[in-house]
Amino acid sequence: MQLRLHQYDLQLRHTFAISRETIETQPTLIVELIDGDLHGFGEASANQFYQASVPEMIAALEAVRSLIEKTQWETPDQLWSMLAKSGLHTFPLCAVDEAAHDLWGKRHGKPVHVLWGLDANKRPLSNYTIGIDTIDVMLAKMKQYSDWPVFKIKLGTDRDLEIIRSLRESTEATFRVDANCGWTAARTLQLAPQLSELGVQFIEQPLPIEQLSEMEELLRECCLPIMADENCQVPSDVDRCFGKFTGINIKLVKCGGLTPARQMIHRARELGMQVMVGCMIESSIGIGAIAQLLPLLDYVDMDGAELLAEDVADGYQIVRGDCLLDDSPGCGATLRS
């Protein structure tokens, strides 16, 4: 086994803003596991909020390189368990776990979701994300993807209701809104009835992480479902979110890859919670890994590669929000040379 690391600065198609930051490029790290003629790929994009830079991820992986290259494993969870015990940060751990799943699928000549016994015909449609900007720019972005049936609208400004009202005039698509911790409980309750009337499906992470105790009452009083994102990062967070959120939005980099993501899905289902998987801004490598989970989900946000000016990988096509899974072995994506 050989470990190879690739770092890129992904240029975005448009400036992308959420309540806490604005970016034009997205640094990312792609991990390649080489086993003879087989190559497995996984990805972790950098994120300042979660203290994960590309140089830090590379240093962390170099520290466990010998463990990765010498460990014999038959299933990806075996490698994941060893690396998790080493204390590897979840972002680089995710990239290795995705690469191991991709390699595992290629060893067996089948897509990962097939090896898991999932029905690829059962899959939710992805939203397309509209970052915070002027209303005219947000409208222009939405019109470029006018055939997508669902949009996630980033909010957290003093003109949130005006934004949704203006966008609603141009489409009948379903809306989801994501405040990225940018609201208070009072503002959430103020906006929710009007957002519901404007065709918003649910609210994602309205309050800051540290206000988890306020979520139980907010959930009781809010007329819209509320999904946890920043409050649900690793498997142990699922139980903490129970009774405080309608469902959870899992990010592979936050939890450490496909292995813990499946654990989170299983636990959420036991608790009767809805399940979504979301992406970061990333290439088709990371999006292909998310695609393997589609039959297990209620909702998905996998537009990360669509936000790029140019992808660095080839993967599944997403047409009008529908990820067209095929019989490509592994996770369905390959790094461009």
CA 13 centroid distance within chain: 18
Same domain, 82 and 228: no
* Per-residue pLDDT tens digits for 287-307: 999 999 999 999 999 999 999
pLDDT-based confidence at 261, cuts 50/70/90? very high
**Domains held by the chain: number:** 2
H helix runs in the chain, sequence order: 54-63, 65-70, 76-85, 90-108, 112-115, 135-144, 160-168, 185-197, 215-221, 236-241, 252-255, 258-270, 284-291
Report the b/e string of 116-145 with b at 16+ CB within 10 A: bebebeebbbbbbbbbbbeeeebbebbeeb
Last residue of a domain, one of 63, 87, 109: 109
Domain extent at residue 126: 115-335
Short-list 226, 246, 248, CA closest to 237 = 248
* Per-residue pLDDT tens digits for 317-328: 999 999 999 999
What average pLDDT is seen over the chain? 97
State whether residue 282 is helix, strand or coil: coil
Same domain, 144 and 128: yes
Same domain, 99 and 138: no
Same domain, 153 and 175: yes
Is residue 19 pLDDT above 80, yes or no? no
Q: What is the pLDDT of residue 125?
A: 98
* Per-residue pLDDT tens digits for 239-260: 999 999 999 999 999 999 999 9
Same domain, 167 and 216: yes
Tokens describing residue 278: 């979301």
Yes or no: say if 27 and 142 are a contact pair by the CB < 8 Å rule: no
User: What CATH number has the domain bearing residue 216?
Assistant: 3.20.20.120
* Per-residue pLDDT tens digits for 191-234: 999 999 999 999 999 999 999 999 999 999 999 999 999 999 99
Last residue of a domain, one of 79, 109, 139: 109
Same domain, 273 and 133: yes
Q: What is the pLDDT of residue 15?
A: 85
Same domain, 90 and 212: no
Q: What is the pLDDT of residue 120?
A: 94
Yes or no: say if 247 and 227 are a contact pair by the CB < 8 Å rule: yes
Same domain, 125 and 231: yes
User: What CATH number has the domain bearing residue 94?
Assistant: 3.30.390.10
Last residue of a domain, one of 109, 137, 154: 109
Q: What is the pLDDT of residue 230?
A: 95
Q: What is the pLDDT of residue 337?
A: 84
Yes or no: say if 310 and 283 are a contact pair by the CB < 8 Å rule: no
pLDDT-based confidence at 124, cuts 50/70/90? very high
Same domain, 62 and 211: no
Same domain, 54 and 135: no
Q: What is the pLDDT of residue 20?
A: 79
Same domain, 273 and 303: yes
